[in-house]
């Protein structure tokens, strides 16, 4: 049985212990919960948990404008989720086997973004020119532009970039790599949840690519996380981008599980010539 609420603490009271049983696999639900508790706006949010035999064994939520997100849970939870969810399910992110089960119920998705979750093993720090640092208020305009560019490049809904950067700067979650005194790459780091921090997004502007800056800033943020914030570090990589996957493996990240972001609904009508 699925139960839904707009009250984040009611949801946490029911589902947080379940989520914490797999803090790596449930990094997205746990990070969102931590961010909301830290003041991130979550208007019109809906949170749900799935109970069977008196035990919570699943969770799903949506914080508009972001897609519905699924926790790690049994595939048999999906059919009843579709029936119980209040409203149309148009975009979902979650473990591959669960988004696949949704496709069996809702029909062939319009688009699929395949991702892989990685966990840091032994960190390998690359020998890259420059240095890492915590981002500050002076970086705000550049970071907003980079968040906007990242969202456009990967085709993911990122929410309001101004709001995102404000929140993450306040939480000391953004890091820069500088070369010759100029910022050339950035990485974000989620707050610890269940002893796990997550890297992302990582962005290097096109003019600064192929210099190792993305690997360097990711390794720098990962080291900060391990030394001061959490016991484990994870990140997601787009499986359609072999370069980013190779970079993360080169600095010590190891694959854990495959995920997908799927969009349902009719194809958009082509524009007029």
Collapsing DSSP states into helix, strand and coil, what is residue 183? strand
Residue 208 · residue 88 · CB < 8 Å: no
pLDDT given at position 145:
97
CA distance 256 to 233: 12
Chain position carrying tokens 């746990």: 30
CA–CA distance, 264 with 58 (Å, rounded to integer): 22
d(C-alpha 96, C-alpha 207), whole Å:
34
pLDDT of res. 87 = 85
Q: How many residues does the chain have?
A: 273
List Cα–Cα distances, 208 to 40, 99, 110, 147, 177, in angstroms: 31, 35, 33, 16, 11
Residue ranges in the chain whose pLDDT is less than 50:
267-273
Q: Are 71 and 26 in contact (CB under 8 A)?
A: yes
Residue 101 is predicted with a pLDDT of: 96
Q: What is the pTM of this model?
A: 0.92
Cβ proximity of 95 and 70 under 8 Å? yes
The structure tokens 């890297």 sit at 199
Torsion, CA 106, CA 108, CA 109, CA 113, rounded to 10: 120
189: alpha, beta or left, given left = phi > 0 and alpha = psi -120 to 50? beta
Q: What pLDDT is stored for residue 271 in this prediction?
A: 44
Per-residue model confidence (pLDDT) at position 158: 66
Beta bridge partners of 3: 49
CA distance 253 to 219: 10
Q: Give the integer Cα–Cα distance in Å for 65 and 42.
A: 9
Kindly tell me the burial class for residue 54, based on how many C-beta atoms sit within 10 Å of its own C-beta (0-12, 13-18, 19 or more).
Answer: exposed
Give the span between the Cα atoms of 102 and 93, in whole angstroms: 11
Burial 239-258 (b: 16+ CB within 10 A, else e): eeeeebbebbeebbbeeebe
The residue among 45, 12, 43 whose CA lies nearest residue 163 is 43
Note whether 245 and 119 are within 8 A (CB).
no
Cα separations in angstroms, 125 against 140, 214, 221: 27, 12, 11
Lay out the sheet containing 91-95: strands in order across: 2-5, 46-52, 55-62, 68-70, 91-95, 253-263, 111-120, 232-238, 196-203, 182-189, 174-179, 131-134
């Amino acid at each position: 049985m699925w139960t839904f609420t707009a009250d984040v603490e009611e949801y946490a009271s029911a589902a947080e212990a379940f989520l914490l049983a797999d803090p790596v696999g449930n990094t997205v639900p746990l990070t969102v919960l931590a961010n909301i508790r830290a003041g991130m706006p979550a208007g019109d949010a809906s949170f749900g948990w799935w109970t069977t035999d008196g035990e919570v064994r699943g969770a799903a939520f949506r914080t508009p404008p972001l897609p519905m997100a699924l926790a790690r849970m049994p595939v048999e939870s999906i059919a009843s989720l579709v029936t119980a969810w209040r409203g149309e399910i148009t975009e979902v992110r979650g473990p591959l086997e669960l988004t696949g089960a949704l496709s069996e119920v809702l029909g062939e998705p319009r688009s699929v973004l395949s991702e892989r979750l990685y966990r840091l093993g032994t960190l390998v720090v690359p020998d890259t020119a420059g240095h890492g640092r915590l981002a500050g208020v002076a970086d705000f305009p550049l970071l907003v532009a980079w968040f906007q560019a990242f969202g456009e490049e990967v085709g993911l809904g990122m929410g309001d970039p101004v709001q995102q950067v404000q929140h993450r700067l306040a939480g000391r979650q953004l890091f820069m790599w500088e070369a010759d005194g100029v910022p050339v790459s950035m990485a974000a780091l989620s707050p610890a949840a269940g002893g796990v921090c997550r890297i992302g997004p990582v962005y290097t502007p096109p003019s600064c690519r192929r210099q190792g800056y993305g690997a360097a800033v990711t390794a720098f943020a990962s080291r900060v996380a391990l030394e001061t914030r959490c016991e484990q570090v994870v990140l997601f990589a787009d499986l359609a981008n072999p370069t980013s996957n190779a970079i993360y493996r080169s600095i010590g990240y190891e694959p854990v599980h495959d995920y997908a972001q799927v969009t349902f609904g009719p194809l958009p009508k082509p524009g007029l010539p």
